[in-house]
Structure 1
Amino acid sequence: MTQPHGETPSAETTPPVPAAPTAAERPVLVVDYGAQYAQLIARRVREAHVYSEIVPHTWSVEKMLERNPAAVILSGGPASVYEPGAPAVDAALFDAGVPVLGICYGFQAMAHALGGAVDAAATGEYGAATVAVDEPGVLLTGSPGEQAVWMSHGVAVTAPPEGFTVLARSAGAPVAAFEDRERRLYGLQWHPEVKHSPLGQRALENFLYRGAGLRPDWTAGNVVAEQVAAVRAQVGDARVICGLSGGVDSAVAAALVQRAVGDQLTCVFVDHGLLRRGEAEQVEKDFVAATGVRLVVVDAREQFLGALAGVTDPETKRKIIGREFIRSFEAAARDLVAESGASGEEVRFLVQGTLYPDVVESGGGEGAANIKSHHNVGGLPDDLQFELVEPLRTLFKDEVRAVGLELGLPEGIVWRQPFPGPGLGIRIIGEVTAERLEVLRAADAIARQELTLAGLDRTIWQCPVVLLADVRSVGVQGDGRTYGHPVVLRPVSSEDAMTADWTRVPYDVLARISSRITNEVREVNRVVLDVTSKPPGTIEWE
């Protein structure tokens, strides 16, 4: 409504300006069609400072639209659009007014749903390929006439749907990219999300910024502001405890919640006896010094070892550890209430450093497979008495580190190698005993020390040391026969723990680690190296 000249609207008559939706309230949805790179697409969108979430292809268009998406990206996948039972795209998505980008299978499924021609490719393209750009349009703005890309297809779009402009072609794809600028629909046959497509990030950003009109405003600072507001809204003036493990995730979660609610937070560090050497002392010294938070230390070593006695199955271990953590937090909460006397309020909320990879691997979300139950997701007991506060649940590890730095945590905490909540309990293959834990602690301490001395702490994501407790091998030490345990070194490099490759540690460093372990840890007579990527292997053995 226009005001008469010279008048200003009064506070009583002017409606309040609604707050702009946060990034999490208008995500870019990445629809997963079974691609090995779906997680990577979501990461690349976030690297463009736009918030993204992954959803299964089984979601209906109505369910997707309930999330109020700013845009939708259809991932690649192993199927062919003509295979019986192949996942299809509901054409209603393209009439919803939401910008859509199809990639590989998603590109073909879009073309098929809109009446384009999709057929067996004259030449299958797997790996490095070259595309010729005939018309840059919106999607390929800034692209040269030819560019290197990464392809993986035996089916191709041979004719675009009505209203689409062909942007690029390749030897095996007459239509390698297209767009309908008016309807804000776009597609690429190649994989822009992989590093082997050097200009792929530019194409993704062209879609996000030019095609969908989004702003690159999802930053660590905005994440902190959004999550502080969300925690305050959830918690109110209630008391909160945070399970502090010594790892990066719980430290950042605790610092973020402390920023939100201050003295309402008490951190609880449970010494479950499954820690690395010096871990408990380091947590007490470093984190409290950095944040000034109130910390309660619970000695639960006998409790956890008793619960794990005789257990060898890894899923059972994780669930037991998750259950005993909660029991320890419940006991700590009761003690805090008792300390407060008659005026003591019940502790309603428990903060956890749950990350997006934890949720995905634990089968979180419709359509996700349960790879392994993380103790803080699938391992929680059914009779949980707390309401969970999980401010990092939608973040990848590197994003958590950025948030930690934004919160002012020292680099020594932020860049600490990830350490799983279940600790060494899932790095002992077999029953967990006090004796086996001491063996593993000694070997782990040596490996960590030598990697640090070699200056590899930033190069290696983490290096689990695994004790094959139920395996023995013959060795020779001191001219005598030994029958000791092997340990496995698992050095890996990763951005976010969703995928990983084994780190090529220099041979001289590996030699020093092996020599020291076999000389200083008498129960170990063999050191082996795990050279498996993820997938197919996970980072931890259990």
Structure 2
Amino acid sequence: MDSQDVKSDLVLILDYGSQYTHLITRRIRQLSVYSLCLNGTASLESIRKENPKVIILSGGPHSVHAPQAPCFPSGFIEYVESEKIPVLGICYGLQLLVQRLGGQVSIGEKQEYGRMEIEVQKACGLFGNRKVGDKQVVWMSHGDEAVNLPQGFEVAARSQQGAVAAVEDNKRRFYGFQYHPEVTHTHEGMETLQHFLFDVCGVSAEWKMEDVLEQEIKAIQEKVRLEDHVICALSGGVDSTVAATLVHKAIGDRLHCVFVDNGLLRYKERERVMETFERDLHLPVTCVDATEQFLSQLKGVVDPEMKRKIIGKEFINIFDAFAHDLEQKFGKRPAYLVQGTLYPDVIESCPPPGTQSTHSHTIKSHHNVGGLPKNMKLKLIEPLKLLFKDEVRALGSILNVPEAFLKRHPFPGPGLAVRVLGDVTQGNALDILRQVDEIFIQSIKDAGIYDKIWQAFAVFLPIRSVGVQGDQRTHSHVVALRAVTSQDGMTADWYNFEHNFLDDVARKICNSVRGINRVVQDITSKPPSTIEWE
């Protein structure tokens, strides 16, 4: 999906490394407006090419006074003024605007972090119908502050400590928030963004999933020649299934799907998934049993990044072999591999400039992004790489993917390899984890709360604990249960189960799964943790 093909106004976000940048993108899309990130130091030509209706400068961990602090390109100010493009700076973005337009930014006398109250100083403008003196709770995260504003700027709001919290220059169409309207902790953040985009900037809410589908089918048909065949890696998850269904709609039987049993799947996953593909989706799928191949390569490996790299490499080896078999059959080697890569995968794997910021850190390599070998022979088709999970589900609904399938919880590409901490081949860790996970998930379904939870799973911990079972001392394994709620998987809160539910699940696990004598619950949000443990 090329942003130039999108039939709606584009809000372009220049990313300076904030952990919340992806949320800006997400919140804007929730308002039916297309948004896209570019590296904060992207060239002026790259910015012009996107033809943005609005530009947002994100926050970031830097100080504008630091050597080599990231900045928009030379000529940027002149460009946006000549084209009358509104620019909104958030946190670091505000400080960057102020400094580059002739104002002054200094280290704050009182640094501001977390929830804080701000007070409106100017009616209308950024805060719509809010009156002077009105207050609201926002989320702050900054050490520097604007102390002298450029000519033409006015203070729109101040924090309870008196620091500048929002600024605007309506004549030149420059605006800024020293807080983060995109996070849920800013109680009126969505209303503020909505007012800014629609009332201040005149953006149209015209971005629809139907347009995305039409654009992607067109792009695939233009990319894949009539004589080309394409391989699709099906994992049984929502993302790869929607990607396969979309590509199948675009090129028909020239798509060849392969489902790999790598020995790292959930309880009876292979049987259940293959039945769904055949009965409900009518996709052409070949199942490859590669359990021994994967587990032999993973034996003794404990580093999670190394696990992901190994798994990515082995998947590609299998796809190359599958491509060779197809070449023998059709006389032409497939040139493309379809993967269900999502926007959060791209963000967390920290890709090259032009797609996402190089000012943020790699959180983890996704096997279908950072885990792919550099010498891969197949070229990638990733029709979902600019979409979030709930957008993929909406797209799948349009493609008539069964609702029960679309509601499945996410499952990581590396499978149980990142849920068995340490060596996945230790003892019977995988078998134990499968049994525990099945009890946990089935209990959630029986309780009628599966759809309320974004993701739930069990983790095999590399420790043993002392217990008493059958009046005998045991020294057995420990498992952790994790369940979170989320909208897009980029931030998440732990799900607060009823105590009776947890008690019942823990008893079932310890009574039914040999080798387990202790069950713990993970009650950490994201951030500071990630959803998966590895």
**Same structural fold, with TM-score higher than 0.5 when normalized by the shorter chain:** yes
In 2, distance between residues paired with 1:277 and 1:180?
A: 59
Q: Which of the numbers 363, 380, 385 marks the counterpart of 1:388?
A: 380
Q: Which of the numbers 437, 443, 450 marks the counterpart of 1:444?
A: 437
Q: Which of the numbers 459, 471, 479 marks the counterpart of 1:466?
A: 459
- The C-alpha deviation readout for 1:179-225, integer Å capped at 9, x for no partner, is 33343222223322122333322322233234443321222212111
Aligned residue in 2 for 1:11:
none
Contact 2:116 2:160 in 1 (8 A): no
Q: Note if 1:365 corresponds to 2:352.
A: yes
Equivalent position amino acid for 2:344 in 1: P
What is the CA-CA distance between 1:251 and the residue it aligns to?
0.8
Contact 1:136 1:167 in 2 (8 A): no
Q: Which of the numbers 52, 72, 75 marks the counterpart of 1:92?
A: 75
Q: Note if 1:504 corresponds to 2:493.
A: no
Equivalent position amino acid for 2:185 in 1: H
Structure 1 pair 372/120, CA: closer, same or farther in 2 (3 Å)?
Answer: closer
Q: Note if 1:162 corresponds to 2:151.
A: yes
Question: What secondary structure, in the 3-state scheme, does the structure 2 residue paired with 1:288 have?
Answer: helix
Equivalent position amino acid for 1:233 in 2: E
Structure 1 pair 524/131, CA: closer, same or farther in 2 (3 Å)?
Answer: same
- The C-alpha deviation readout for 1:440-481, integer Å capped at 9, x for no partner, is 11111001111111122122211221112x422221111112
Contact 2:123 2:130 in 1 (8 A): no
Equivalent residues in 2 for 1:279-318, closer than 5 Å: 279-318=269-308
In 1, distance between residues paired with 2:13 and 2:346?
A: 16
In 2, distance between residues paired with 1:123 and 1:316?
A: 43
- The C-alpha deviation readout for 1:325-348, integer Å capped at 9, x for no partner, is 1122222223333344xxx33211
Contact 1:91 1:114 in 2 (8 A): no
Structure 1 pair 142/234, CA: closer, same or farther in 2 (3 Å)?
Answer: farther
- The C-alpha deviation readout for 1:135-184, integer Å capped at 9, x for no partner, is 313x3324354141314245443443223344344444465433333432
Aligned residue in 2 for 1:72:
55
Contact 1:90 1:113 in 2 (8 A): no
Contact 1:156 1:172 in 2 (8 A): no
Moved more, 145-154 or 234-243: 145-154
In 2, distance between residues paired with 1:305 and 1:170?
A: 56
Q: Note if 1:22 corresponds to 2:5.
A: yes
Q: Note if 1:541 corresponds to 2:524.
A: no
- The C-alpha deviation readout for 1:468-510, integer Å capped at 9, x for no partner, is 2x42222111111212111111212222121222221221111
Q: Note if 1:327 corresponds to 2:317.
A: yes
Q: Which runs of 5+ in 1 are unaligned?
A: 1-18
Contact 1:401 1:414 in 2 (8 A): yes
Aligned residue in 2 for 1:453:
446
- The C-alpha deviation readout for 1:42-80, integer Å capped at 9, x for no partner, is 111111222222334343445433444332211223444
Q: Which of the numbers 144, 149, 164 marks the counterpart of 2:137?
A: 149
Aligned residue in 1 for 2:415:
423
Number of equivalent positions: 519
Equivalent position amino acid for 1:357 in 2: P
Report which structure shows greater RCO (CA 8 Å, sep ≥6): 2
What is the CA-CA distance between 1:34 and the residue it aligns to?
3.5
In 1, distance between residues paired with 2:70 and 2:3?
A: 35
What is the CA-CA distance between 1:356 and the residue it aligns to?
1.4
Indicate the percent of aligned positions where both proteins have the same amino acid.
Answer: 48
Q: Which of the numbers 193, 200, 206 marks the counterpart of 2:195?
A: 206
Structure 1 pair 286/315, CA: closer, same or farther in 2 (3 Å)?
Answer: same
Equivalent position amino acid for 1:136 in 2: C
Equivalent residues in 2 for 1:227-306, closer than 5 Å: 227-237=216-226, 238-306=228-296
Moved more, 527-536 or 147-156: 147-156
Equivalent position amino acid for 2:186 in 1: S
- The C-alpha deviation readout for 1:97-117, integer Å capped at 9, x for no partner, is 232101223112212211234
Q: Note if 1:348 corresponds to 2:332.
A: no
Equivalent position amino acid for 1:77 in 2: G
Equivalent position amino acid for 2:340 in 1: G
Aligned residue in 2 for 1:135:
123
Structure 1 pair 381/122, CA: closer, same or farther in 2 (3 Å)?
Answer: closer
In 1, distance between residues paired with 2:327 and 2:282?
A: 21
Aligned residue in 1 for 2:178:
189
In 2, distance between residues paired with 1:107 and 1:287?
A: 50
Moved more, 514-523 or 457-466: 457-466
Q: Which runs of 5+ in 2 are unaligned?
A: none
Structure 1 pair 439/38, CA: closer, same or farther in 2 (3 Å)?
Answer: same
Structure 1 pair 374/128, CA: closer, same or farther in 2 (3 Å)?
Answer: same
Q: Note if 1:53 corresponds to 2:36.
A: yes
Question: What secondary structure, in the 3-state scheme, does the structure 2 residue paired with 1:284 have?
Answer: helix
Question: What secondary structure, in the 3-state scheme, does the structure 1 residue paired with 2:207 have?
Answer: coil
| RMSD of Structure 2 on Structure 1 (CA) | 2.5
Moved more, 121-130 or 446-455: 121-130
Contact 2:9 2:33 in 1 (8 A): no
Contact 1:121 1:173 in 2 (8 A): no
Equivalent position amino acid for 1:201 in 2: M
Contact 1:493 1:502 in 2 (8 A): yes
Structure 1 pair 240/149, CA: closer, same or farther in 2 (3 Å)?
Answer: same
Equivalent position amino acid for 2:16 in 1: Y
Question: What secondary structure, in the 3-state scheme, does the structure 2 residue paired with 1:96 have?
Answer: helix
Equivalent position amino acid for 1:184 in 2: R
Question: What secondary structure, in the 3-state scheme, does the structure 1 residue paired with 2:438 have?
Answer: helix
Aligned residue in 2 for 1:488:
480
Moved more, 432-441 or 228-237: 432-441
Structure 1 pair 95/362, CA: closer, same or farther in 2 (3 Å)?
Answer: same
Question: What secondary structure, in the 3-state scheme, does the structure 2 residue paired with 1:464 have?
Answer: strand
What is the CA-CA distance between 1:27 and the residue it aligns to?
4.2
- The C-alpha deviation readout for 1:387-425, integer Å capped at 9, x for no partner, is 110001111112111111122111111110000111112
Contact 2:8 2:207 in 1 (8 A): no
Moved more, 139-148 or 239-248: 139-148
